A and B are shown apart, each in its own frame.
Chain A
Amino acid sequence: MGVALMKLAQWTAAGHGTGTLEITPLNEAVLKEIVMFVESFIYKHPQEAKFVFVEPLEWNTSVAPSAFESGYVVSETTVKSEEVDKNGQPLLFLSVPQIKIRSFGQLSRLLLIAKTGKLKEAQACVEANRDPIVKILGSDYNIMKEDSIALNILGKITRDDDPESEIKMKIAMLLKQLDLYLLNHSLKHISLEISLSPVTVKKDIELLKCFSGKGDQTVLESIEYTSDYEFSNGCRAPPWRQIHGEICYVLVKPHDGETLCITCGAGGVFLNGGKTGDEGDINYERKGSIYKNLVAFLREKSPKFSENMSKQGISFSEDQQKEKDPLGKAPKKEEAAALRKDISGSYKRSLEKNQINFGRNQMTKRWEPSLNWKTTVNYRNKGSAKEIQEDKRTGKLEKQRPSVSHGRAQLLGKSAEKIEEIVSDSSSESEEDEEPPDHRQEASADLPSEYWQIQKLVKYLKGGNQTATVIALCSMRDFNLAQETCQLAIRDVGGLEVLINLLETDEVKCKIGSLKILKEISHNPQIRRNIVDLGGLPIMVNILDSPHKSLKCLAAETIANVAKFKRARRVVRQHGGITKLVALLDCAHDSTKPAQSSLYEARDVEVARCGALALWSCSKSHTNKEAIRKAGGIPLLARLLKTSHENMLIPVVGTLQECASEENYRAAIKAERIIENLVKNLSSENEQLQEHCAMAIYQCAEDKETRDLVRLHGGLKPLASLLNNTDNKERLAAVTGAIWKCSISKENVTKFREYKAIETLVGLLTDQPEEVLVNVVGALGECCQEHENRVIVRKCGGIQPLVNLLVGINQALLVNVTKAVGACAVEPESMMIIDRLDGVRLLWSLLKNPHPDVKASAAWALCPCIENAKDAGEMVRSFVGGLELIVNLLKSDNKEVLASVCAAITNIAKDQENLAVITDHGVVPLLSKLANTNNNKLRHHLAEAISRCCMWGRNRVAFGEHKAVAPLVRYLKSNDTNVHRATAQALYQLSEDADNCITMHENSAVKLLLDMVGSPDQDLQEAAAGCISNIRRLALATEKARYT
């Protein structure tokens, strides 16, 4: 009647709030077992039955006073037992309707008297007495409390030898046994019960649907879901009902009866309160008993159904059974068996080692997978515990059964996390930030001996003075703290709280010892989270102010470990940690002064190093980067960068590299002459340092001046030479990234060619991870802007691997690859190779890529391809549906895509036949619609496309009709000569049509065009002049017509 019972009572309370037990078969079974236990108690344990409870069990009984016979003093409304305790109080006292009972003997008797009402009495008793154990044995025995308390009880019992304690102890053991028995028993129940999953329910309903409809032969008239929306876990019930295990609701109209509104839940199928009101809200209350599945339910409710079912003669149920067996039953049984084993196992051990007993059982119970005992509170825990449970068992069970409770748990977990996320902060970072679910140490695993040793040490930490504490701390450090078992053991025995508490004391030695441990165990992501939850970070931030350098160091190092996820980083910032950490960096300048020979002191350089380490961790979030800058961190970092200690340089460069993603930083990095030192450290021996330097250069080299600085400080050569070492992929990615960004400057490309970097890059096009490939291809794309390099790439056989990469899915990679292929296609010889490899088709198919950047990049790449391919027109036509595809891209709302597609259309339209096709696809109205834009790039390419498209049929007239002319005239006011030229050419083409000339004239194009004639650009001059001449000619013609 212990834990199991309490759980049971709690669960129902959580579900309903009224504190009543729900009548489920399982609860009923549990109650029956309790009744049996109590009834037989008086015979089996006569001595214990006389034991007087610490507090009476009270509830409202329905047993009438008249039912009591011998052994009781009965009056009209009260009953007293003749049996009394030491003080003469009766052990049973009934004053209608309340009853108080103070011994097991009386309990037994009452149940015998109650006869048929036994179950009801038991239920009332359980409902009214949530903590029966406490009432019976006293609050010491509250096993639901912390284990530490529980641990003491047995010690206590064994110490004082009075007989009462012995009995107490015996009762405690008996109750424990009952408890275990109940759990085992209910597990058996659960395992026998068929748990429904969304999949099986769905199948049922769909099958039934097939056999439903009008007519006598069908099984049902209709069956429908109440909701059309299906959640990703297969449930249709709203999430807050999914918590209760409900999967979906169906409206069933049988041939012989009213429409039934049915709830299908994981625990079974039952009739609910039906639809209420017009909005279709469902009254979720259960109205009938629970059936194992829909078919069983309907058989019961509708005779016609069962009749027709059998008539149909379908092997409906058989089918189901087959399906269900592997899905539902088998793993269930296995699971249950495993659980049983666990429990009995832990029980056996508990007999030997009483200490463990209480704590362990509590843990065992935490993950009882009871599907119809409703719980909301600890779903997250349960879900994850179950997951481990499954994973552990040879992984066989994994994903076999799309368990509802899983889905639910995840759903709940997710939403909880989401909330945290929202509250969390504004930071930009995303990677490795997910906080892992909290896995508490599991009961099923055998606890290693370290666990008990650590528990003992924590006890000394709690109860020792500073000498004992220091000894315990030092001894704890001898465990392998890098090992997860030890890390979690420290947490699970409550060590984290103590360690963090120690940080708040005045004892420097204790603080040092505690931090040394925290520093180690905070490598574990779960521990990090726990430290933050326990409020450890603000304390450590305060320690950063301590006059003791070694304390500062340790605190900073621990912060560096803890601040690996964003919530922690935020806490550090909010408590002023960033400023303090930046202040630590300042220590290094007076390192020439001889260190004071105090005992626990570290060197200034070390302090700065730890500060940099912590800042590195913190700098992963956007707001912190800003905070570091504001605290004046950049000059300090720049100064530290001049040192030559590798272990100092790595965190410093790491921080800079993180921060360089911010515009402000890049400017500051330039100003503080940091690039020079970064370049210097590229030649360091340390791979990690090289990597971070390259990464920082990669981030900063977006800026032209920085790229030049890298070259001026001789950074290109080390970069190129680092390319030859391909073992360290992270470093390779950083180095290739730096090369990519640097090669945006032409001068740098020339240098790279000198260093034979291009050949090496081509070699890296195969067998590299994507992060490397993106950068390599990006670099090649930049290099190939120059003729010489294109030749090199071709000669090294770089085109084939590039074209091969066109089939990838990595978006960043595709953008770069298309650009590189496009750059190569400028060379007719390379173009031949691309064509032969079917590269154009691949590029064309990338126009269908969902991402606009890829689309645009592919379209740009197509331009040189079409321009340089032999027989381009034929090639383009050979792509089925290709022209329609590209014309339709003009409907995009991305300016870059539009510009690139316009450019591609310009090239396509060079072929008359293709022009005819795209005209048919409605290119003219689409282009005309784009005319009202302010984007110069788009204007340029749009005007070119229009001018090309004018060459066919009555397109000139059509552009006029679609009002493209007036906006084009306005383009002439733009300040971009490319736009001017393209526009003038377009207008020249359009001016062949008289109506367009009139429109141009109305929009005062002539004045603007006259200005253009004076331009130094010949094409522009010519086009403008031609346009004016067309307008003029029209004017002359009209005049002529008027006077003749």
Chain B
Amino acid sequence: MNRKKLQKLTDTLTKNCKHFNKFEVNCLIKLFYDLVGGVERQGLVIGLDRNAFRNILHVTFGMTDDMIMDRVFRGFDKDNDGCVNVLEWIHGLSLFLRGSLEEKMKYCFEVFDLNGDGFISKEEMFHMLKNSLLKQPSEEDPDEGIKDLVEITLKKMDHDHDGKLSFADYELAVREETLLLEAFGPCLPDPKSQMEFEAQVFKDPNEFNDM
């Protein structure tokens, strides 16, 4: 990609992105094309496919849960075309790194709402929490603990007592206790890897300005 095009892309994206400045956008675009492995191929959709993206989530942001990573991918891939393009990349990272609590709540809720019906049901919770407890050999029913955990979560978050979490329930609970933002699994970068990522990507501005 030539400098002019990059400049133009940067400008457009910067305009649409409230959390990053021009320099940061520039860095991220650069990183994106580094990751994709080339600038442009004729006729092909440029982007990170599911596996490549999951790899990034795992290596860079330390995520491990397969299911959650898939959900994160879907969260990034707004147009549902199976790959994250540069626009979606910038938007997604904007939320990842700089998102406000409101934005993050909305995103997390979407991640946790597996079937997208606007509620996190008991079954969905169970699904997401099923690997969260060490299997106790003495337990009669290995799932009992998980079920119990689901009940505990509901008790804590289900304010209207309808047996499932609406976004309103979720929002209320998170505002009360921020720790519950990622209640059903880590879907945001943890602060440490976030800092490392930022430090690495946004380093040494001079070098990038030369481009």
Contact = CB atoms under 8 A, between A and B. Distances in A.
Contact of A597 (B100, B182, B191): B100
A155 B185 contact: no
Given A463-B136, A464-B134, A467-B129, A474 B177 contact: yes
Contacts of B56: none
Contact of B156 (A474, A507, A512): A474
B152 A472 contact: yes
A466 B186 contact: yes
A997 B43 CA distance: 130
Given A460-B145, A473-B179, A547-B195, A599 B104 contact: yes
B89 interface: no
Nearest to B173: A474
A463 B133 contact: yes
Contacts of A468: 129, 132-133, 149
Nearest to A155: B138
Nearest to B191: A508
B9 interface: no
Contacts of A459: 145
Contacts of B98: 597
B170 to A, nearest CB: 13
Nearest to A465: B132
A706 B138 CA distance: 71
A475 B155 contact: yes
A599 B183 contact: no
B190 interface: yes
Contacts of A464: 132-134, 149
Given A152-B138, A456-B148, A475-B152, A513 B100 contact: no
A467 B179 contact: no
B101 interface: yes
A937 interface: no
A711 interface: no
Given A470-B180, A474-B177, A599 B152 contact: no
A159 B140 contact: yes
B153 interface: yes
Given A155-B139, A471-B149, A475-B155, A509 B133 contact: no
B179 A512 contact: yes
A508 B145 contact: no
The residue among B129, B139, B140, B152 with the most chain A CB atoms within 10 A of its own CB is B152
B142 to A, nearest CB: 12
A477 interface: yes
Contact of B132 (A462, A467, A474): A467
Interface in A430-465: 456-457, 459-460, 462-465
Given A506-B192, A600-B191, A467 B185 contact: yes
Given A467-B186, A506-B192, A513 B133 contact: no
Q: Is the interface of B mostly helix, strand, loop or mixed?
A: helix
Contacts of A509: 179, 182, 190
A478 B156 contact: yes
B65 to A, nearest CB: 8
A548 interface: yes
Interface string A158-191: 1100000000000000000000000000000000
Contacts of A152: 138
Contacts, number: 89
Contacts of B131: 465
B181 interface: yes
Contacts of B149: 460, 464, 468, 471-472
B7 interface: no
A968 B136 CA distance: 92
A1044 interface: no
B179 A474 contact: yes
A624 to B, nearest CB: 32
Given A463-B134, A465-B131, A467-B132, A474 B180 contact: yes
Contacts of A466: 186
A599 B181 contact: yes
B187 to A, nearest CB: 10
A598 interface: yes
Given A159-B140, A474-B177, A508 B182 contact: no
Nearest to A551: B191
Interface in B154-211: 155-156, 177-186, 190-192, 195
Contacts of A156: 138
Contacts of B156: 471, 474-475, 478
B140 A598 contact: no
Contacts of A477: 177
Contacts of B134: 462-464
A509 B178 CA distance: 9
A465 B101 CA distance: 24
A467 B148 contact: no
Nearest to B101: A599
A95 to B, nearest CB: 40
Contacts of B152: 457, 460, 471-472, 475
Contacts of B190: 507-509
A159 B136 CA distance: 13
Contacts of A507: 190
A471 B153 contact: yes
A477 B176 CA distance: 12
A463 B180 CA distance: 19
The residue among B136, B138, B184, B192 with the most chain A CB atoms within 10 A of its own CB is B138
A463 B134 CA distance: 5
Interface in B115-155: 128-129, 131-134, 136, 138-140, 145, 148-149, 152-153, 155
A838 B157 CA distance: 74
Nearest to B132: A468
Nearest to B128: A467
Contact of B183 (A158, A470, A506, A512): A470
A508 B194 CA distance: 12
A548 B191 CA distance: 9
The residue among A159, A478, A599, A600 with the most chain B CB atoms within 10 A of its own CB is A599
A472 B152 CA distance: 8
B138 A598 contact: no
Contacts of B128: 467
Nearest to B65: A467
A467 B183 contact: yes
A513 B179 contact: yes
A135 B96 CA distance: 59
A508 B192 contact: yes
A152 B138 CA distance: 6
Contacts of B136: 463
Contact of B178 (A460, A467, A548, A599): A599
Contacts of B101: 599
Interface in A790-813: none
A599 B103 CA distance: 11
The residue among A456, A462, A475, A508 with the most chain B CB atoms within 10 A of its own CB is A475
A457 B178 CA distance: 20
Nearest to A453: B152
A882 B145 CA distance: 84
A505 to B, nearest CB: 11
Contacts of B132: 464-465, 467-468
B182 A467 contact: yes
A16 to B, nearest CB: 40
Contacts of B192: 506, 508
Interface of A: 152, 155-156, 158-159, 456-457, 459-460, 462-468, 470-475, 477-478, 506-509, 512-513, 547-548, 597-600
27 contacts: A155-B139, A155-B140, A159-B140, A457-B152, A459-B145, A460-B145, A462-B134, A463-B133, A463-B136, A463-B145, A464-B132, A465-B133, A467-B132, A467-B182, A470-B183, A471-B156, A471-B183, A474-B177, A475-B155, A509-B179, A509-B182, A509-B190, A512-B179, A548-B191, A597-B98, A597-B100, A599-B181
Given A152-B138, A597-B98, 5 more contacts: A463-B136, A471-B152, A478-B156, A599-B101, A600-B178
CB-based closest 4 A-B pairs:
A463-B134, A468-B132, A152-B138, A155-B138
